[in-house]
A and B are shown apart, each in its own frame.
Chain A
Amino acid sequence: MKHPTMTTSDNGIVLLILSLACVGVVAGLYGFARAIGRTRPEPGKDVPASAGQMSRDPVWVRYHARYLGYALLFLAFDMEMAFMYPWAVVYKQEGVVALLDMGVFLGILFLGLLYGWSQGALRRQ
């Protein structure tokens, strides 16, 4: 078993610096593009493109998500991941017990999936 030479905070700081550097580079690019020239304001230019017609109305409306059945199941089903990662790491060490435990857990969850399926949650609403 190899252990990382860096601690969590070292890693975190590297990632933080990477993120900041990335944002910095992008900001630099934006600055460069702006130095090349500003966008010339013209009529109709900043209207969202819609196939040759001028769309004027705001489109921020209540949107009908047809996948809401999946979304509801997903919210609950997704939580299994929180338990599976620590379980996967100790799986070899714990052996059959781990397999059975997770088998029961996933079996229970799968029942929920089957129920959703039978009730028509797994389709466009």
Chain B
Amino acid sequence: MTAVLIVALVTGALLFGIGLYGALSQTNLVMIMMGVELILAGALVNLVAFWRFLHPHVYAGQMFVLIIMTVMALEMAVGFGIAVARFRSRGSVEMEEARDLNG
């Protein structure tokens, strides 16, 4: 069982790493959000693994997973809202240009 737990946690760590890379390296707001989604997905795996293997009778763990999923969705809703507004006013959602144009 420990092996499964460690596989799951390593998956979570890898997803976190990929997400972090994406969030830092991408220039576009929407792509950055994809990175953030991956980071949150990493957190999700860890939470599920912890609940399943360590505290299967504490359902606050599952509740926490639901909350993370909600956060993922809301992050997208608000993020896209910002993207639409930015694009409407600037014609771009590139972060570098956000810096330049805000000046």
Give A residues with C-beta under 8 Å from B: 68, 71-73, 75-76, 78-79, 82-83
Contacts and interface: CB of A to CB of B under 8 A. Distances in A.
Given A75-B73, A75-B77, A79-B73, A68 B84 contact: yes
Contacts of B84: 68, 72
Contacts of A72: 77, 80-81, 84
B74 interface: yes
Interface residues of B, number: 10
Contact of B69 (A68, A71, A82): A82
Contacts, number: 25
Nearest to B69: A82
B43 interface: no
A82 to B, nearest CB: 5
A95 to B, nearest CB: 20
When A and B form their complex, which 10 residue pairs have the shortest distance between CB atoms, in order from nearest?
A75-B77, A76-B77, A79-B70, A79-B73, A82-B66, A75-B76, A75-B73, A72-B77, A72-B81, A82-B69
Nearest to A68: B84
Nearest to B77: A75
Contacts of B69: 79, 82
10 contacts: A72-B80, A73-B77, A75-B74, A75-B76, A75-B77, A75-B80, A76-B77, A78-B73, A82-B66, A83-B66
B34 to A, nearest CB: 14
